[in-house]
Amino acid sequence: MEPRGLMRAIRGFAILYAAEVRRYLAETRVYLSGYVSSMLVTAIVVALFVMQAGDAHDPSAWVGFLYWNAASTMIGEASVSISADKQNGTFTQLMLRPAGMLEQITAKTLSWALVNIVVDVVFIVALFALIGAPIGFAWPVPPIALLVAVGVYGLTMAMAALTVLYTKTASFGDVIGYAMMFLGGVIVPVGQLPAPLAALGRLLPITRGIEMSRRAILGQTVAPADWAWLAGQSLAFLALGYLAFALIMRHGRRRGISMRY
């Protein structure tokens, strides 16, 4: 792509991204009571798990809950937004935009990530301070989180494409989110799970990301092999997610896209 064309594409994406951020903030204001209610329920669940599991004195316990909350939001919000557009009759407008569907999903996901990660960090820090649990930090955590986000985006693409084709796919967002909490070692160490579930959990980038972040916060060594394995997992999820997105969208163009809810 020529430099001029690249700059035009970047500018177009920036405009789309800014529009999605404004839209998301406007929707949050409209549904603020439901949003606050959901956060309070999450706070109760997280506080119960932390205190019951004996993690109230573990400075790395917060990492798992932050990763899980952010990953669940990334995966679920794209599907929920597409499902809502279908219900409201505005989905056709998305299909007619000059920006491709993948570009729109990326802009939507990044806008939610920007807003929700800031909210999640404040939320988790305030919650752990309220229940008297320590909060540790180490500089390797942010790059680990970015690698995990790459893999999670692969799942986001697959879920969003399925929702484009089959609207009710969005209903399974919570199931996937809580499955990640269980299999990712957020509440139960992966080593304590039955062997088949532990093997399944270790396939998820979020599992290794949580383990690496906790070790870094506790002052333990994070080996180069761990970084390489996490990067490989995340890139594999990204590639598989893109492949699933391309195949599902191709199927939708050939067979038609259901607009029913």
Looking at residue 55, what is its pLDDT? Answer: 60
Closest CA relative to residue 160, chosen from 226, 221, 83: 83
Contact in structure between 3 and 10 (CB atoms under 8 Å) = no
Using CA atoms, how far residue 208 sits from 138, 149, 215, 254, in Å, is 16, 12, 11, 38
Contact in structure between 149 and 74 (CB atoms under 8 Å) = yes
Q: Mean pLDDT by 10-residue block, N- to C-terminus, for the chain (261 residues)?
A: 67 74 73 71 74 68 82 76 66 61 74 74 79 83 92 84 68 76 82 87 90 91 92 93 83 64 52
Residue with the two structure tokens 């649990």: 133
Looking at residue 167, what is its pLDDT? Answer: 62
Looking at residue 144, what is its pLDDT? Answer: 95
Looking at residue 231, what is its pLDDT? Answer: 95
Q: Please tell me the chain's helix, strand, coil percentages from 3-state DSSP, rounded to the nearest 5.
A: 80, 0, 20
- What is the DSSP annotation of 192-252? GS-HHHHHHHTTSHHHHHHHHHHHHHTT----HHHHHHHHHHHHHHHHHHHHHHHHHHHHH
Looking at residue 169, what is its pLDDT? Answer: 64
- What is the DSSP annotation of 78-126? HHHHHHHHHHHT-HHHHHHSSS-HHHHHHHHHHHHHHHHHHHHHHHHHH
